[in-house]
Chains A and B, each alone.
Chain A
């Protein structure tokens, strides 16, 4: 089975812009979770989607949003980018309650 794929792998944006990141889960997996990794805060949960519905949400401002499509692919969007949004954004897919398989991540740099 192919693993979790994320596109793009690297992205450079400027403050105030918006960005959309994409995640394709492992075939058959219906749950997709997103995480942000920064040197200061570590790995933090953003949100989880299951069958096109947001099932769980972390403590991030409303500038961070996501959605899931009928084929389980997911996108996350960050609007009005700030310097502090520079991070590695990780997507994980799950086919059963206790497993999460991570993609390689998207490295976002905000200038």
Chain B
């Protein structure tokens, strides 16, 4: 049962344009969402996050949108740069036993390629 899904395995974008990466989730208990960027043979690097009490969070070129009713979130990168080419993972967490957010449930990832 895949609770977090990234339905697009890959996305190709021209430099300077907008990249939109999508993520859907099924577990209503998720209340915090994160996006990570990953290069091969390296650990994921945190990009941006959003709490379920918000519907938008911005950090520089990165904006995450959350639609709770649709159980859908998206990451917008504007403008896209060749250095943004990597695998992007969305992840979700839910408070476990009132204490821990230590378990992240990841999507399968989307390979973003930004062409010069």
Binding site for B on A (CB under 8 A): 4, 31, 33, 35, 42-45, 48, 50, 55-56, 58, 88, 90, 92, 94, 97-105, 107
For the complex, is B49 an interface residue (Cβ under 8 Å from A)? yes
Chain B 31-58 near chain A by CB (<8 Å), digits 1 or 0? 0101010000111111001010000000
Query: Is the Cβ of A42 less than 8 Å from the Cβ of B106?
Result: yes
Q: How many A-B residue pairs have CB under 8 A?
A: 73
Whether A31 contacts B102 by the Cβ 8 Å rule is yes
Q: Is the CB of B43 within 8 A of A55?
A: no
Q: Is the CB of B43 within 8 A of A56?
A: no
Contacting residues, chain B, for A107 (C-beta < 8 A): 41
Assess whether B106 is in contact with A56, with CB atoms less than 8 Å apart: no
By a CB distance below 8 angstroms, the chain B residues around A103 are 43
Q: Does A98 lie within 8 Å of B101, measured CB to CB?
A: yes
Considering the complex, give the chain B residue whose CB is closest to the CB of A90. Answer: B43
Docked Cα-Cα span, A59 to B37, in Å, equals: 25
Q: Can you list 17 A-B pairs with a CB-CB distance of less than 8 A?
A: A31-B102, A33-B103, A35-B104, A35-B106, A42-B108, A48-B102, A48-B103, A55-B96, A88-B41, A92-B43, A97-B100, A98-B51, A99-B49, A102-B36, A104-B41, A104-B42, A107-B41
CB closest residue in chain A, given B2: A42
Pair A45/B100 contact, Cβ less than 8 Å: no
- Residue among A44, A50, A100 with max Cβ neighbours from chain B (10 Å): A100
Q: Mark B76-116, 1 if CB is under 8 A from A, else 0.
A: 00000000000001010101110111111111110000000
